[in-house]
Structures are given as structure tokens and as C-alpha cells.
Amino acid sequence: MVSPDWLALAPHGILGLTAMVLLLYDMIDPDSRNRLALASIATVGSLAALAASAWLLAVGVGPSESVSLFDGQLVVDGVALFFSVVFTTVAALVTVASYDYLADHSYQAEYYSLVVLATTGMVVLASANSLATAFVSLELVSLPSYALVAFLKTNRGSVEAGTKYFLIGALSSAVFVYGISLVYAVAGSLHFETLAAFFAEQGIEQAGVFGLGIVMIVGGVAFKTASVPFHFWAPEAYEGAPAPISGFLSSASKAAGFVLAFRAFNVAFSLDIAAVSGAIDWALLFQILAVVTMIVGNFAAAVQERVKRMLAYSSVGHAGYVLIGLAAITSGGAGGNSIVMGAAMMHLLVYGVMNTGAFLFVGMAEYWGVGRRFEDYNGLSKQAPMACVAMAIFMFSLAGLPPFGGFFSKYVLFLGAIQAGFWWLAAIGAVTSALSLYYYSRVVKAIWIEDPSADFRLRGRPVGLYAAVMLAGVLTVALLPAFGVGIEAAYDAASVLFA
């Protein structure tokens, strides 16, 4: 053992402490508008949690040794730490960018504390080893998210989006927790390993009740990941929310839904158990979800006329790509399963950086007063060339063009699906990815090739937004030489789920 058990909770504790410091700061000075202090506290806390997660991975906590805590309710392993890196990276980019985005807004301490609390919930969710812990941590993610979407109180679109998101999210939570109750009624436990042992030894006596519970849990996960047909809240929420929050939800929050699915369906309800116990074949459900989500998300994005809404629908399409990690799982194929699951995890890491960067660029355009439509971005490169270079990198990487990180993450994901025998999933992914080049290139064409449709001057360089966009661009490029290290870490982390 390289460290005491409690040290494995360093990322969780740092984020929780950061949220408390922000709330304490607000209690001492409730009218404070010290943006630099608030943004610095949130950013330093996120970066410290990121460093702790990376350090724990480096010293061997995770891939080589899992730490079980609170009677097995939490487990810190490679999966938990890998996703903690994703969550904290996105959170750091969002808090830096929010420094300028919130310049004229009140309740800034509340805003940053909500972002950090949501990130805390995501990190706990990645470590959840029971359905009870997963539900509580999922609500810790969801409740701050509802408030953050509606944060622009004087903006009708933001308030409407937050209200819709809350109502649909409440319904989704009810469906999810009812599915959990049905599983408990059959097995008498919510702990993942206990559930796996129970089903392997005794089979499923109430297959109908259990099957309905699994379907409801899949529905709850599909809502959180914005998978079709549970995606209809996402375009409204992403378009109405502050742009940094749109990036936060479409990247980190989406990854939170996937880490729950990865752990629950590969530990508690694995296909190996289903094969011997008569349980439902949930892989078929995810195959259907993956196909429909890839097709609907990309075709819907192709017909949008607003950049932010296009990015919202494209995030739905990317959820379909990640779903391949679950759809291509096979019974008894632990080695191949680790490859396709690790590839899905790596795509979430690459996607988290480039997608967040794209939404932050949109936030910078909103700060400048640029319109929301594609033609409003015409000629933007003439006044902000470096930021537009970063946006072009994001767009081409999201489309999956070589030599960008998005190409390699999609390549290993599709290759893993082919090796598992699901070549048709890879084929649909490749075709829809080719379609995405059309709508992503529209942004690049507007900012670099088209002449400005009207004379306008950009009002200064927003320090935080500009720094976050450029940092995301640098990270997207840096993922190229580091891709080999990253994918190996993802493979090692995913293998824990099939041990």
C-alpha cells in the first residue's frame, strides 16, 4: 500500500473543502464582487484536485491497487481517478473562463460554489460502488446544474431552459430511483459486488421485475448522457445556459453519466452474469441507443443555424460514439471489453477538452456581442486570429480529422468495436463522423474565409475567457504526443471493471 486509505479521497476532499471556502467567503462578504478572488479559489481547488488525481494514478492507486472505503460504498480505482482527471480539467477551464463571463453579474460566489459542488458530486459518482451512493452523488451533480443553467436571471431563455431542465431532470430522477427500488426488491442489496454475487449464485427469480428495473436505470443514464430519445432537454439547456456552463454540462456532466453506466453495468449487471442467470441483455439496449443517438445527433446538428445549438446537438452525437463502449461489450471477452471501454474513456477525455474549448469560444463571442448565427462569425479571424486558430483546432478535432486528438480517440474506439465483432457500429460511427465535418467546417469557413457581414469592433480581450480558450487549444494539441500514454492509462483503468 503506497498511501493510507484516507489519502485516496484527496480529490473528493479538496473539492468539498473548496466549495466550503467559497461559501464561507460569501458569508463573510455577501456583497463581494471580487471576481479575481472567487475565480482563483475555484480554479486553484480544481487544479489541486486534478493534481491529486494524477498523483494517485502515478503512484499506483487505481490500476494496481483499488482502495475500498465506507464498507465498500466508495471505491477509488483507475476508473474513478481517470474520470476525476476529466472532471477537474473541465472545471478548471470553466472557472477560469467565468472570470470575464460574470463581470456584470451578481451572486458570483454562489456560481463558483455551485460549479465546485457539481464537480464534487461527479468525483464521488465516479467512486460510487452502490446504487444508493450513485443516486445521492448523481443528485449532487444535478441540483447545482439546474441552478447554473438558470443563472442568468434577467435572460428569459436562461430561466426557461433551467425550468425545463429541472422538470425533466426531476422526472428522470424519479424513474431512475424507481428502477433502483425494483432491483433492491429482487436482490435485497444495492452494493455492486453483492448484486453481482447474488445474481451469479441464485439467478433471477423475478426476471420481469428485474428487467423493468434495468430498463429504468438505463433510461436514467440515457437522460444524464443526453442520449436519444432522452436528449430533448439538452439543446434547450445548453443554448439557454451561460456558455461556460454549457461546456461544463456537455462535457463533465455527460462523462459523469457514463462513469455510472460503465461501473454499474460491468460490475453489478455484467453480461457474464446475464448469460448464466437469465438476466436481461442490456447490451442490446445500448446498441440501439448508440445507433439512434449517433444518427439523430449528427443529422440534427447539420440543419442548425445557430452555432451554440449546433454544438448542443453535436454533443448528442458524441454521446452515441461513447455508447459504443457499452454497446460492443461481449460476454466472456474481458480483454476485448477492456480495449473498447478504455477507448470510450479516452474519447471522453479528448472530447471534454475540445468540446469545452468550443463552448468557451462561443462564450467569448457572446462577450464581444457577436450574434449567435453562423454568418455572425464571418471574418472573426481578422480581429482575433489566435482564438480563431484554437476554434479551428476544436472543430477539426471534434469532426475526427487527422492528426488531431479526436481522430485518434475515434479511431481506437471504432477499431475496438470491430475487434469485438461490431463492425456495423464502427461503420455507422464513421459515416456520421464524416457528416459532422460538414457542420463543423461551417464555423471554420465563417471565421476564416467569409468577409464580415457588418462592421464591428471587438471590445477588448477578456483575460479569463481568452486564457481558457487558448489553454484548451494547447491541451487539445498536447494530447497528440501524449495520446499513447493516455490510452494505456485508459486501458489499465478499464481492466479494473473486468477483473
What are the residue boundaries of the structural domains of the chain, listed by start?
A: 5-498
Lowest pLDDT segment from 136-150, 265-279, 463-477:
265-279
Given this model, what pLDDT does residue 64 score? 54
d(CA 281, CA 272): 10
pLDDT band at 274 (very low <50, low <70, confident <90, very high): low
Given this model, what pLDDT does residue 1 score? 42
Residue 485 has pLDDT above 70, yes or no: yes
pLDDT band at 63 (very low <50, low <70, confident <90, very high): low
Per-residue pLDDT of 398-446, as tens digits, reads 998 888 888 999 999 999 999 988 999 999 999 999 999 999 999 999 9
| 295 class by beta-carbon count within 10 Å (0-12 exposed, 13-18 middle, 19+ buried) | middle
DSSP line for 249-278: IIIIIHHHHHHHHHHIIIIIT-HHHHHHH-
Bigger pLDDT: 268 vs 335:
268
pLDDT band at 276 (very low <50, low <70, confident <90, very high): very low
Bigger pLDDT: 61 vs 397:
397
Backbone φ and ψ for 136, nearest 5 degrees, come out as -65, -45
Question: Contact, 116 vs 91, CB < 8 A?
Answer: yes
Is the bond into 229 cis (omega within 30 degrees of 0)? Answer: yes
pLDDT band at 277 (very low <50, low <70, confident <90, very high): very low
Lowest pLDDT segment from 7-11, 81-85, 115-119, 145-149:
7-11
Given this model, what pLDDT does residue 403 score? 84
